[in-house]
């Protein structure tokens, strides 16, 4: 039975559940999906926004109006405020405190990505101490990522064993030329923070490879794993269109370590369908 954990290639590639989704129709940050993924050993991702009471909310947007029935900056709200709000799914947003309570019985292969949406200047030392107190016992199941190398470095220093991820995609795309993109990637790989994983837009990976730059191979040569984000299907129930199939196969040929997707079950099924048609 399909579980949406990986696709089987010579080197299996994990399918990461973007915002805890197994299906594109799932609500964001579903605690039931989180519990299931932790039990199965899935790779999953959540977003964290700093709250005003030194904790964190599991939300992508900086303003509550983006994802909840509330309004105002997440940075000014408290855990008590969040408890009275509702997501589109009807659930209250998860807090960092509630999140820690779900991590107790994680499968050894489970990996939960904390994608930090704040810059270091927006996160106090008390915020960092809060995360360290809650999640140090679970560091083996966690990886922290985001766009602030300083924040990632400070979190990793506070939580021994925490894996580090970094996303230089925006800076690479802004670099313009292929050689400048390569230089920016190499700078991220060799930064003193030394990420365990880099998060790179999948279309950028495929486009660069067509021009002769294999970004996945560059990262692997430096001992850094690669997450290709965020792959989506126009119609998950129907599987890949011919164009989607060709582009997905081009991505698979690069051998990233995992692919972020909102539809891990459908992606796995579509890929299996491609393998059957090729045999």
Q: Could you report the per-residue pLDDT of 203-221, keeping only the tens digit for each? A: 999 999 999 999 999 999 9
Per-residue confidence (pLDDT) for residue 129, from 0 to 100: 98
User: What is the distance between the alpha carbons of residues 213 and 181, in angstroms, rounded to a whole number?
Assistant: 10
Per-residue confidence (pLDDT) for residue 1, from 0 to 100: 42
- Which top CATH class is 6-278? alpha beta
Question: What ranges do the domains of the chain cover?
Answer: 6-278
Q: In this structure, how many other beta carbons lie within 10 angstroms of the beta carbon of residue 220? A: 16
Shortest CA distance to 270 belongs to which of 241, 243, 247? Answer: 241
User: What is the distance between the alpha carbons of residues 123 and 137, in angstroms, rounded to a whole number?
Assistant: 21
Per-residue confidence (pLDDT) for residue 279, from 0 to 100: 59
Whole-prediction pTM value?
A: 0.95
Spell out the residues 6+ positions from residue 49 whose beta carbon is closer than 8 angstroms to its own: 56, 57, 59, 60, 61, 62, 74, 75, 117, 118
What residues are paired with 111 via a beta bridge?
Answer: 43
Q: How do residues 134-163 score in pLDDT, each as one tens digit?
A: 999 999 999 999 889 899 999 999 999 999
What residues are paired with 16 via a beta bridge?
Answer: 43, 260
Per-residue confidence (pLDDT) for residue 275, from 0 to 100: 79
User: What is the distance between the alpha carbons of residues 230 and 201, in angstroms, rounded to a whole number?
Assistant: 7
Q: Helix 242-254 vs helix 202-210: angle between axes, to the nearest 10 degrees?
A: 80
User: What is the distance between the alpha carbons of residues 253 and 267, in angstroms, rounded to a whole number?
Assistant: 16
Distance linking the first and last C-alpha atoms of the chain:
20
Per-residue confidence (pLDDT) for residue 277, from 0 to 100: 73
Answer yes or no: are the C-beta atoms of 263 and 232 closer than 8 Å.
yes
Per-residue confidence (pLDDT) for residue 147, from 0 to 100: 85
> What is Dmax (Cα atoms) for the chain?
57
Residues of the chain with pLDDT under 50: 1
Spell out the residues 6+ positions from residue 174 whose beta carbon is closer than 8 angstroms to its own: none
């Amino acid at each position: 039975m399909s579980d949406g954990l990986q696709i089987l290639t010579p080197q299996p590639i994990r399918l990461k559940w973007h915002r805890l989704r197994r299906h594109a129709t799932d609500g964001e940050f579903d605690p039931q999906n989180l519990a299931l993924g932790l039990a199965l050993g899935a790779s999953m991702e959540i977003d964290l926004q700093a709250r005003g009471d030194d904790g964190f909310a599991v939300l992508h947007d900086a303003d509550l109006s983006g994802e909840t029935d509330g309004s105002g900056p997440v940075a000014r709200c408290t855990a008590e405020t969040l408890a009275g709000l509702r997501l589109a799914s009807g659930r209250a947003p998860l807090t960092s405190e509630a999140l820690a309570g779900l991590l107790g019985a994680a499968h050894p292969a489970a990996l939960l990505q904390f994608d930090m949406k704040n810059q270091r200047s927006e996160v106090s030392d008390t915020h960092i101490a809060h995360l360290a107190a809650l999640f140090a016992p679970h560091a083996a199941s966690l990886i922290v990522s985001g766009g602030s190398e300083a924040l990632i470095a400070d979190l990793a220093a506070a939580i021994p064993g925490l894996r580090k991820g970094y996303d230089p995609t925006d800076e690479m795309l802004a670099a313009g030329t292929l050689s400048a993109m390569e230089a920016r990637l190499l700078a991220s790989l060799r930064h003193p923070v030394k990420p365990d994983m880099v998060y790179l837009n999948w279309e950028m990976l495929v486009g660069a490879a067509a021009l002769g730059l294999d970004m996945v191979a560059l990262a692997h040569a430096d001992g850094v794993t690669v997450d290709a984000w965020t792959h989506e299907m126009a119609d998950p129930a129907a599987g890949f269109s011919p164009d989607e199939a060709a582009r997905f196969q081009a991505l698979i040929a690069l051998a990233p370590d995992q692919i972020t997707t909102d539809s891990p079950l459908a992606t796995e099924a579509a890929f299996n369908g491609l393998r059957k048609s090729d045999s």
